[in-house]
Structure formats: structure tokens, C-alpha cells
Amino acid sequence: MSTALNQQSLVTAASIMTDYNQHEVRCGMCAKEIYVDDEGYRLYMDAINAGLDNPFRCEVCNEEYDDLAYEG
């Protein structure tokens, strides 16, 4: 996974299913369907089961988050 992790450990996932990313989860911001691999799905379930915020973001929301971070 080539995700650039920041201080909040957000994970960006693609909105298309691939051979590797076959588990559907939801973007934590816009609830859009996104697809992750086995490890990502385990991470997602762990976060939900632990009552943590959904760490996944679709590509669109991730870009918006980056913009906000730059603006300070």
C-alpha cells in the first residue's frame, strides 16, 4: 500500500474494486463505497469494533483533507 500516512493514520482507498481490493467499506467522511484489501478490511473492522473513527477516506475526501492541512 502506497498510502502516505499522516498523524491521524488515515488510509486512502480507491473507489473501484480490483483483484487486491475486494472488501467494500465506507469513506469515513462522505460514506462513499471504497474498496480495500484483506489487511485494510481487518484494520477497518478493528477500528469499528473498538469504537474508533473510521480511518478510511476516499480519494476525493483525502484530497480535501490535504488542502485543509495546507491551509493550516
Residues of this chain that bind Zn ion (CB under 5 A): 27, 29-30, 32, 58, 61
Q: Which is nearer to Zn ion, 47 or 61 (CB)?
A: 61
Instruction: Name the minimum Å distance from CB 31 to Zn ion.
Output: 7
> How far apart, in whole angstroms, are the C-alpha atoms of residue 69 and residue 65?
6
Contact predicate 11/18, CB 8 Å: no
Cβ contacts of 51 within 8 Å, gap of 6 or more: none
* Residue closer to Zn ion, measured from CB, 23 or 32: 32
Angle at 45 between CA 43 and CA 50, to 5 degrees: 95
Minimum Å gap between C-beta 15 and Zn ion is: 9
Q: How far is the CB of 53 from Zn ion (least distance, A)?
A: 13
